[in-house]
């Protein structure tokens, strides 16, 4: 499919990245200056998604990390991710995070610089209710992924990023997947305006749209990025960049660009297919170093 750009559209390419540099820590900076991230998600059946997202947030340069997950998963996650504080939240009988668990995060809501909700969470209705309640309790930039994106049409919350692929956008918008694939820029831009959020409509060509009608296009990466867990890494990378101070539109654009370039690096190192999502996260620092 050919992609054209309008007057209001920018292409996210090497020239764009050079003219919109990442913030660089000063000589005396510490973990506090690089931002405090809260990642909420996980379930007994999908415990790895939150591990991938949380790891990517740190790999993207965030300084402090708190992870909140269901009580069944928390001990395993604490062992797998020693860099994080891990909070065990109550879960329902079917493995979803209980909405009442938002209250257990009250002490953090004024202390975090960026929030990610959704990776690995099960049961859409419960996840949406949890995400809405948590968004209402926080004011920092937020990224919604997977089922948590269902909270955005009624959230009316500024500084929020949603990261759907075409199928998820179809579900959120009520359109068919074919419509989304055929009119990605128009649909992403309309959704961003309707939801007053930054929309990352991800794919081989990713459209990043802001509520002010700006639409940015990124084309790159490779087929190997289409692997289980890759979207969790992208969401984690974006929230890490938001914690470092990038606004939602720029943080989303950089997150997409770094994710794609990590895939390109791994294709050269390992092969075009078969590298793992965890390896995408691990490649982010090397890719960022090119632009330091």
pLDDT tens string 148-200: 999 987 666 779 999 999 999 999 999 999 999 999 999 999 999 999 999 99
Tens digit of each residue's pLDDT (9 = 90 or more) over 229-285: 999 999 999 999 999 999 999 999 999 999 999 999 999 999 999 999 999 999 999
- What three-state secondary structure class fits 215? strand
For the stretch 104-127, pLDDT in tens is 999 998 899 999 999 999 999 999
d(CA 159, CA 16): 22
Query: pLDDT confidence of 7, banded at 50, 70, 90?
Result: very low
Domains of the chain: total? 1
Query: How confident is residue 3, by pLDDT bands cut at 50, 70 and 90?
Result: very low
Examine residue 18 and state whether it is found in any structural domain, yes or no: no
φ/ψ of residue 137, rounded to 5: -95, -5
Q: Using CB atoms within 10 A of its CB, is residue 4 exposed (0-12), middle (13-18) or buried (19+)?
A: exposed
Q: How far apart are CA 272 and CA 50, in angstroms?
A: 25
- In this structure, of 4-13, 54-63, 177-186, the range with the lowest mean pLDDT score is 4-13
Flag whether 10 is in a domain: no
Are residues 72 and 98 in contact, defined by beta-carbon separation less than 8 angstroms?
A: no
H/E stretch holding 247 reads none
What's the domain range around 163?
30-289
Q: Which residue has the higher pLDDT, 10 or 228?
A: 228
Q: Which two tokens stand for residue 202?
A: 């991800």
102 within 8 A of 74, measured Cβ to Cβ: no
Is pLDDT above 80 for 216?
yes
Residue 207 domain-assigned? yes
Rg from Cα positions in the chain: 18
CA gap 175, 143 in Å, rounded: 23
Residue 220 lies inside a defined structural domain of this protein:
yes
Q: Tell me, what's the pLDDT at 110?
A: 86
Q: Is residue 113 part of a domain?
A: yes
Query: Can you give the CATH number for the domain in which 155 is found?
Result: 3.40.1190.20
Q: How far is CA 27 from CA 15, 30, 241, 255, in A?
A: 27, 9, 19, 24
What pLDDT, on a 0 to 100 scale, did the predictor assign at position 28?
Answer: 66
Contact 77, 47 (CB under 8 A): yes
141, pLDDT greater than 50: yes
Alpha helices in 138-229 (DSSP H): 166-173, 177-182, 184-195
DSSP labels, 7-38: TTEEE-SHHHHHHSPPP---TT--GGGG-EEE
| 119 touches 50 (CB < 8 A) | yes
Is 8 among the domain residues?
no
pLDDT at 23: 86
Give the per-residue pLDDT at 156: 67
pLDDT at residue 32 in the model? 75
- Does residue 85 form part of some domain? yes
**Alpha carbons 170 and 91: distance in angstroms, whole number:** 29
């Amino acid at each position: 499919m050919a992609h054209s750009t309008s007057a209001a559209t920018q292409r996210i390419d090497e020239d764009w990245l050079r003219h919109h540099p990442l913030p660089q820590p000063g000589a005396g900076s510490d973990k506090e200056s690089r931002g405090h991230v809260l990642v909420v998600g996980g379930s007994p059946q999908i415990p790895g998604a939150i591990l991938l997202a949380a790891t990517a947030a740190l790999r993207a340069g965030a300084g402090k990390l708190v992870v909140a997950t269901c009580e069944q998963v928390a001990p395993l996650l604490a062992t797998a991710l020693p860099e994080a504080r891990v909070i065990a939240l109550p879960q329902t009988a079917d493995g979803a995070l209980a909405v009442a668990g938002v209250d257990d995060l009250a002490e953090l809501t004024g202390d975090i610089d960026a929030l990610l909700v959704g990776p690995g969470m099960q049961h859409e209705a419960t996840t949406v209710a949890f995400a809405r309640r948590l968004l209402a309790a926080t004011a920092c930039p937020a990224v919604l992924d997977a089922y948590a994106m269902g909270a955005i049409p009624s959230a009316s919350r500024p500084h929020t990023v949603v990261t759907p692929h075409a199928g998820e956008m179809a579900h959120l918008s009520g359109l068919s997947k074919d419509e989304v694939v055929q009119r990605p820029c128009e649909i992403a831009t309309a959704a961003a305006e309707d939801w007053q959020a930054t929309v990352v409509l991800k794919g081989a060509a990713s459209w990043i749209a802001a509520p002010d009608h700006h639409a940015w296009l990124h084309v790159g990466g490779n087929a190997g990025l289409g692997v289980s867990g890759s979207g969790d890494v992208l969401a984690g990378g974006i929230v890490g960049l938001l914690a470092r101070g990038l606004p939602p539109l720029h943080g989303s654009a950089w997150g997409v660009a770094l994710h794609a370039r990590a895939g390109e690096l791994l294709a050269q190192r390992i092969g075009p297919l078969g590298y793992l999502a965890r390896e995408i996260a691990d490649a982010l620092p090397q890719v960022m170093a090119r632009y330091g």
